[in-house]
Amino acid sequence: MEESYRKTIYTIIVVANSLSILSCLLILSIYILAKNLRIYAFKLVSILCIIDILKSLSMILPTYSLNSSDSMCKIQGIFVQFFTLASFMMTFITGLALYMCIYIRNDYISKANWFFGIIVFIFPFIGTLLPWYYNMFEKDRVWCWVGRDPIFWRIITFYGPLWLLNGINLWIYIKIIRKINEREHGSIKRLRIYPLILVLCYLPATIERTFEMVSYGDSIIMIIMMGVGDGLLGLANAICYGFTDHVKNYVFEKFCKKKNLSTHELLDYEKMMLE
């Protein structure tokens, strides 16, 4: 790929990831400032935002002109792999916590924190350690990541877990939505969007990687779509998971002064679901 194309794609990646970083920082700022919003569900969203910020910072490292042997290239590959997998796992944990809240008991969720921690950090660690051990992190056109030869490394450490989690998330949210519909709780409509975030953000990448298995020819448009989809993951997570009605009400109260909220209006997910 020509140097001019790499610079253009890198610029697009920087813009997309910068939007994700800014949106995640906004959510974290609200979490810090709004003490009455520090409920368990919003804590999970805040952790997701921290992970997405680190993922986006990893993606904007300027490695487009480096070689696979450069240390910075290896570092980017490791960080991108780990924090992207951690982001996948954190979205799964968020859905699992909601499922437990509805179908089991609220007090079980806090007891499962150690289990959640294992899922979020141990699995990404293993998914990063294996390609590192076999020296599979190398230059991939514009950024550095798991090498494409042999392709099975990308399948078993990234795309396989990604689409497995997509399937599990879809099942979890279908169960949640059915239960919520039984209670006629209209404020949970955004749940329908949650399982689609990873699908929409990583469908272009999956298509491009599938093409790579057939031919090594570069498609500039698909590479751009892949970079944009990956880069906007943090933005999508921040908007869909973070900007709930209660968060928006807090922002309006603080900055728009449209109305004064009482404390009882700022309900957490658990109370809202058990009404």
Q: What is the number of structural domains in the chain?
A: 1
Strand partners, 139: 144
Q: Which of 29-38, 50-59, 243-252 has the lowest mean pLDDT?
A: 243-252
Mean pLDDT of 133-158: 92
Mean pLDDT of 219-239: 94
Specify the pLDDT at position 149. Answer: 83
- More confident site: 244 or 80: 80
Residue 90: name the closest of 192, 242, 209 by CA.
Answer: 242
Residue 105 has pLDDT above 70, yes or no: no
* pLDDT tens, residue by residue, 12-40: 999 999 999 999 999 999 999 888 888 88
**High-pLDDT (> 90) share of the chain, %:** 53
Residue 256 has pLDDT above 70, yes or no: no
Specify the pLDDT at position 106. Answer: 64
Specify the pLDDT at position 273. Answer: 39
Enumerate residues 6+ apart whose C-beta is below 8 A from 40: 97, 109, 110, 268, 269, 270
Number of H helices, E strands in the chain: 13, 2
Specify the pLDDT at position 156. Answer: 95
- More confident site: 83 or 105: 83
Q: At 219, is the secondary structure helix, strand, or coil?
A: coil
Q: What is the DSSP letter of 156?
A: I
Q: At 203, is the secondary structure helix, strand, or coil?
A: helix
Specify the pLDDT at position 23. Answer: 97
Enumerate residues 6+ apart whose C-beta is below 8 A from 227: 9, 12, 13, 16, 142, 143
pLDDT band at 262; cut points 50, 70, 90: very low
Residue 160 has pLDDT above 50, yes or no: yes
Mean pLDDT of 250-260: 66
Q: Contact at 8 Å (CB) between 67 and 139?
A: yes
pLDDT band at 72; cut points 50, 70, 90: very high
* pLDDT tens, residue by residue, 81-100: 999 999 999 999 999 988 88
Q: At 215, is the secondary structure helix, strand, or coil?
A: coil
Q: Which of 42-46, 55-59, 181-185 has the highest mean pLDDT?
A: 55-59
pLDDT band at 185; cut points 50, 70, 90: low
Q: Which of 69-73, 238-242, 252-256 has the lowest mean pLDDT?
A: 252-256
pLDDT band at 154; cut points 50, 70, 90: very high
The domain that holds 179 is classified in CATH as 1.20.1070.10
Q: Which residue has the tokens 């008991």?
A: 105
Specify the pLDDT at position 36. Answer: 83
Specify the pLDDT at position 63. Answer: 92
Residue span of the structural domain in which 248 resides: 3-273
Mean pLDDT of 71-89: 96
Specify the pLDDT at position 275. Answer: 40
